[in-house]
Amino acid sequence: MKCPPWPEGQKLVHLDLKGAPPRVDYLHKLIELFSELGAEGLLVEYEDMFPYEGELQLLQGTAPPTYSRQEILSLQEFARSKSMEVVPLVQTFGHMEFVLKHRPLWGLRELPHCVGTLNPHREEGLKLVMEMLRQVVELHPGVNTLHIGADEVYMLGEGEESKLWLASPGRTVEQLFLSHVTKVAKAIKEAWPHLSIIMWDDMMRGMNQDTLKESGLVGLVQPMLWDYTPDLDVDSTVSLLEKYHTAGLSQLWAASSFKGSTCVHTCVPGTMRHVENHEQWLKVAAALPAGVHLRGIALTGWQRYDHLSVLCELMPVALPSLGACLQTLVQGQLSAEAQIRVCERLGVSSVEVTDLDRTPEEDSLFPGRRLAELIVDLNHLLNSDDIRFFENSMAVRGWFSPYQRQRRAVTPLITMTIHSQASAYLTTLQQKVEVVKEEMVRLYPECTAQEWIEEHVSPVMAPLQRITEDVLACVKEMVP
């Protein structure tokens, strides 16, 4: 069903740099493509890729190394040349894993075993957050909007200092959350009065209107309501937006997803799942009552679920999804015309990355297409039943079981056939992996390629490798 196109308001593409940060030249190509596909700004989440200085230098990543100050400035300059606004995202409460993982900062955690949540009672914690924000804002001259995160503040209220605070009559975890966020927002407004402040909304969803009205956040922050599911509940979402608006939080944003929200370890995205998410958001926008407006939507592309989780889909395999999602917003649906527009711009025959026709590299029309094709091809092989369930094949289960291996009681004729097949799979996989790695390091740091291979390929190759080694060991004791 066709909906009205996305109403007035910015369409931001989320750049999640806490995993697989693109090389700068590739980053510029991506930004140019985002602009051509219909994006009007970037929501940039640096985490440890930002070149923090002074006492915060320990926050800098080492593998890969952070972007330089000049590279951060060049990113903004290039985005401006494409008429795109850059909105930095700095976590200030939850998901501070990249900060609180460092031993000198362990004492600022809400709980020792919860690496992501900041203790809201320590003055040093607020000072740390404000110094992070100061360095980011100063390296973004002309910035107008700042996103302070504040989603998924796990285990809040469970720390000893929080329990003491909550012991006072009438105090709640909701108030504890709001108290810290309000302190941060007020400090930002005091330092940079011109800045608009966005925050994730999820910690406020269960709060009633009176709690929100009395929080002190009214007029300070703009909630960004996120839902990445293809079956987003339209009525509930509209009601939630109405609640925020009635409580005085009238500057509202939405957040959808074009990648990185299917499963924590997804390798290749399914475009239609993400298109359906955007279709639901269009229904939300169309159903809002008069007076309730959305300032824009951020199309998130998570690279990790959090700083310490594995890599999600890399950007090249998600570009057809991004194009389809942006056109869905522009057209009101992913019509045949919209699909043709995306396919023509990307030089592809389908908006599903798994259906791309192989093309010579010189004919590629979107940056990273060659890598996308290689990843899809390798992923298909890695997930083939013959390889994924090799240990459960009749030959292995029948003639090379753990019992037989342990006792070296095998049939050499059959086990050598098993060895031959496993070796052939290993050779094919290794050849494909080398080609993928060679292409990946052109766009990403070497450590990203290494991590991707160890996460997606090594677990599949390891059992095959063990079988070949065990076969040789067993046959050695059975054959003269």
Confidence band (pLDDT; 50, 70, 90) for 78? very high
Q: Kindly state whether residues 238 and 313 are assigned to the same domain.
A: yes
Which tens digits make up the pLDDT trace of 394-404? 999 999 999 99
The CATH number of the domain where 226 resides is what?
3.20.20.80
**Do 94 and 142 belong to one domain?**
yes
Q: Are residues 117 and 207 in the same domain?
A: yes
Q: Per residue in 5-41, pLDDT tens?
A: 998 789 999 999 999 999 999 999 999 999 999 999 9
Residue 1 domain flag: no
121 plus 234 within the same structural domain: yes
User: In DSSP terms, which residues pair with 196 in a beta bridge?
Assistant: 145
Q: Are residues 169 and 275 in the same domain?
A: yes
Give the rounded percent of residues in the chain with a pLDDT score beyond 70.
98
Nearest alpha-carbon partner for 346 in 322, 377, 330: 322
Are residues 287 and 427 both part of a single domain? no
* Residue 373 in domain: no
- Residue 162 pLDDT greater than 90, yes or no: yes
Shared-domain flag, residues 126 and 225: yes
Q: What is the mean pLDDT of residues 64-71?
A: 94
Catalytic position from the list 36, 152, 242, 391:
152
Domain boundary among 335, 367, 399: 367
- Considering the domain architecture, whether residues 426 and 309 belong to the same structural domain is answered as no
**Average pLDDT rounded to a whole number, residues 41-59:** 97
Active site residue 47: no
Domain tally, the chain = 2
User: 343-349 long-range CB contacts below 8 Å, 24 or more apart?
Assistant: 345/36, 345/37, 346/319, 346/320, 348/320
Residues 116 and 78 in one domain: yes
pLDDT at 409: 85
287 and 400 housed in the same domain: no
Query: 84 phi and psi, to 5 degrees?
Result: -115, 130
Q: What is the pTM of this model?
A: 0.95
Say whether both 353 and 391 belong to one domain: no
> Across residues 196-218, what is the average pLDDT?
96
**Which backbone phi and psi does 26 adopt, to 5 degrees?**
-70, -35
Note down the domain range covering 469: 384-476
Whether 315 and 426 map to the same domain: the answer is no
